[in-house]
Amino acid sequence: MGGEEDIDRAVASSRRCYESDEWQSLTATERGELLDALADEIEANIDRLSRAETLANGKLLSAMRSQVESLPGWYRYYAGLADKVTGDTIQSDKERMFTFTLTEPYGVVGVITPWNSPLMLATYKLAPAFAAGNTAVLKPSEITPVSAIMLAELALDAGFPPGALNVVTGYGDAGAALSTHDNIDKVAFTGGTDTGSKVGAAAGKNIIPATLELGGKSANIVFPDADLDNAVVGAVKGIFAATGQTCIAGSRLFLHESIHDEFVDRLVERAESLALGDPRDENTEMGPVAFDGQFEKVQKYVDIGKEEATLVTGGEQRTDLSGELFYAPTIFTGVENDMRIAQEEIFGPVLSVLTYEDEEEVIELANDTEYGLAAGVWTENVRRAIRVSSKLEAGVVWVNAYRESSFTTPSGGYKKSGIGIEKGKDAIEQYIQRKSVWIETEGIVSDPFKLI
C-alpha cells in the first residue's frame, strides 16, 4: 500500500538514475541492447508471468499467455527503433545559418496502468520510453501488482541500472501522488476517462505532456452484404473476449434492419454456448469478472438495461460455477443510442444491439458518443469499407476483423477516448522532445543594435 512518501522515493531514485553517468553515457544503440536483453528475460519467464496475470485478474490463461508471448516482440521492436529516431539537418531560409535538430528524452516518466492487461499496457509505455532514453516509475493497479514487480526484477536481471524502472504498488492515492508529482517530466496513463481527466489536469498544472489511453464505447457495424458467419464470430470476440473487460470492446453492435433477427438468433445461440469456467482450463472461453467492485458495476448497468431495452439472454450471475464472479454473457436488443447502456462504458460482458436503415444513418449513430477509441466494419464491399472507415471517429478501425493489435501499427483515441499515440514508430515520438540548434557560420556582420 504505497503512498506519497513511496512515490517521492521512487521518483527521486529514477531521477538519480536518469542523471547518472551510467544512464547518460548509454548510446541509443546500447539502450536498444538493454531492451533486447529484457525481451530475452521475458521470453524465459513466460509461464510465470502469464500465470501471475491470470491469478490476479481472472482472464483466460491462454489469452494472458498469448499476450506475454508477444511482449518480447514489442521490446525488440523498440530496441530496433532506439538508434533510428534522429534529428534533421534543415536548409534554413536565413543566410549564414546552419540549423539542425536534436532528439532528447523528457527525463522521468510516470506510468499508471489498469488491471485488465497489466504487462501489455505497461509495455505500450515503457518500451518506447526506455528506447527514447527516459527512466520510469510504474504504478500498477492495486488489483494486479505482482506482474509489474516481476517485470522490474527482470529489468534488473537484463542489466538495467537500479532506478531505471521503479514500481510502487498501491491504491488511488499512490497514482494521484505520481501524476501530480513536480519531479516527473511526462505522465502516461491507461484507465477510465474520469480518472484520465484528473491525470491530464495534473499534467496541465505542472506543464508536462500526458499520453492518455481512456475509455471506449466502440461501434461494431454489420452491413447486409457481410459474411454473417465471420461477423457473428467478430461480434462475440468484440464483446465477450476478456469478459468484456477491455477498453476496445465492441459493446455497441449496429445491425442493418434486414439482417437483425437472423443475426441476433445466431449471436444468442453462440453466446449461450460459451464455456465459462476456470480461466486456467484451456477449454474455457470466458472467465469471471475480475473483482467484486467490477461485478457490482456490471450488475448495476444490467439492471438499468432491463428498464431501458429488451434482455434476450444473460443478465444474471452464473451460480452453477465454482466462484461468485461469473456473469452470463448478456445481450440487449431494442437499444436506442441515447440509452445509458449505449452511451456509458460498462466494462463487462454486456452487448447493446441497435438497428439502422442506411450507411449515412449508421455513421451518424456510431459517431454519436463522447468516445472514439475503436470500431469494427463488416462488409464485402471494399468501397464501402474505405468510405465508412474514413468517416468513423475512432482511433482504430478494423474491417472484417476485431481486436487485432501489433507493435508496428499506431493507435490512439478520438474525443474522450484519449490523447496521444501508443504502438508503432509514432509512439516513441511521445517520449522525446526536439531541440533546434542555430549556428552562425560567418561571424556577426549585421548591426548589433538592429533586433530584426
d(CA 261, CA 266): 9
Q: Is 285 among the catalytic positions? A: no
Options 17, 41, 53, 247, the catalytic residue: 247
Look up residue 187 and give its amino acid.
Answer: V
Q: Is 247 among the catalytic positions? A: yes
Question: How close are the terminal C-alpha atoms of the chain, in Å?
Answer: 58
Options 41, 53, 213, 285, the catalytic residue: 213
Return the HEC string of the chain: CECHHHHHHHHHHHHHHHHCHHHHCCCHHHHHHHHHHHHHHHHCCHHHHHHHHHHHHCCCHHHHHHHHHHHHHHHHHHHHHCCCCCCCEECCCCCCEEEEEEEEECCEEEEECCCCCHHHHHHHHHHHHHHHCCEEEEECCCCCCHHHHHHHHHHHHCCCCCCCEEECCECHHHHHHHHCCCCCCEEEEECCHHHHHHHHHHHHHHCCCEEEECCCCCEEEECCCCCHHHHHHHHHHHHHHHHHCCCCCCCEEEEECCCHHHHHHHHHHHHHHCCECCCCCCCCCECCCCCHHHHHHHHHHHHHHHHHCEEEECCCECCCCCCCCCECCEEEECCCCCCHHHHCCCCCCEEEEEEECCHHHHHHHHHCCCCCCEEEEECCCHHHHHHHHHHCCCCEEEECCCCCCCCCCCEECCHHHEECEECHHHHHHCCEEEEEEEEECCCCCCCCCCCC
Catalytic residues: 213, 247
